[in-house]
């Protein structure tokens, strides 16, 4: 168990015990903004008056099985993803995935109130499938399914159920929102994290020496091999021999950048 997964699990269980479905407090929580706990279902027309429900709805469940299966998903897939992302980034990812579920529910099913951690947990599942797509997940502990195919199946089921209106009150568009926003957030974060590396490669490969064959060959042939370590010297000699025998087109972009780096020293 990791820091934030254990705390999210505990909070969901505590809320379920204190405000069980069917109780008076649960009923009031879905109708009014109670000052005692501040919990509520999220409902589009009420959001301007109860904005906290965009977060608190993730901790209020409609029944034991609803809460149990959400927490099972978080328990199995959350810790590994939190290790990968780090605690603060995981918590932000979890909450934003849940918000994405609320937004999708507003867009495609605006008249329906939504409760539960499903959207946030679906975000955790798409995150797990993104980083470990071939990891086997055993359905009911028996049937192995790779994470990527399980997510694809969930997308198809949620999309079909949401459009057809089947599903017995399940917020399928909220599930889709958790999947879509979760994946989009991880993709953007990974893209932004590699921004400096991409900029370095752009500068490296945009060197004029990589675009002019005659100039490049003259520069590389003038490299003073006596000043270079033996391992690099052997590689340079091998590449220069290949240019002589097969031409410049035989080198990859990385090999040209390698030669260009030594010719600039």
CA distance 35 to 27: 14
DSSP 23: S
**Within a 10 A sphere around the Cβ of 152, how many other Cβ atoms?**
13
Active site annotation includes 66: no
CA distance 265 to 259: 10
Choose the catalytic residue: 118, 158, 216, 263. 118
Choose the catalytic residue: 158, 172, 175, 263. 175
What token pair was written down for 138? Answer: 């055993």
What token pair was written down for 240? Answer: 């220069």
Residue 220 near residue 259, CB atoms below 8 Å: yes
Active site annotation includes 61: no
Residue 97 near residue 143, CB atoms below 8 Å: no
Residues with active-site annotation: 118, 175
């Amino acid at each position: 168990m990791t820091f934030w997964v254990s705390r999210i699990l505990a909070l969901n269980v505590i809320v379920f015990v204190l405000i069980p479905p069917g109780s008076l407090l649960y009923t009031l929580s879905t109708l009014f903004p109670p000052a005692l706990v501040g919990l509520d279902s999220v409902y589009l027309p009420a959001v301007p008056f109860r904005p906290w429900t965009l977060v608190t709805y993730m901790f209020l469940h409609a029944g034991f099985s609803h809460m149990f299966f959400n927490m099972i998903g978080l328990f199995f897939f959350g810790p590994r993803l939190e290790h990968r992302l780090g605690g603060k980034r995981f918590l932000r990812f979890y909450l934003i995935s849940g918000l994405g579920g609320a937004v999708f529910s507003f867009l495609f099913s605006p008249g329906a109130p939504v409760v539960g951690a499903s959207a946030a947990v679906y975000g955790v599942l798409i995150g797990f499938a993104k980083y470990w797509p071939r990891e086997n997940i055993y359905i009911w502990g028996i049937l192995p399914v790779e994470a990527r195919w399980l997510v694809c199946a969930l997308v198809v089921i949620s999309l079909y159920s949401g459009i057809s209106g089947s599903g017995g009150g399940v917020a399928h568009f909220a599930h889709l929102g958790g999947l879509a926003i979760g994946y989009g957030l991880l993709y953007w974060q990974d893209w932004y994290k590699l921004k400096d590396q991409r900029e370095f490669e752009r500068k490296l490969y945009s060197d004029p020496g990589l675009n002019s064959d005659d100039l490049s060959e003259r520069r590389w042939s003038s490299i003073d091999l006596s000043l270079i370590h033996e391992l690099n010297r052997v590689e340079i000699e091998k590449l220069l021999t290949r240019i002589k025998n097969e031409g410049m087109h035989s080198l990859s972009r990385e090999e040209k950048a390698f030669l260009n780096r030594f010719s600039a020293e």
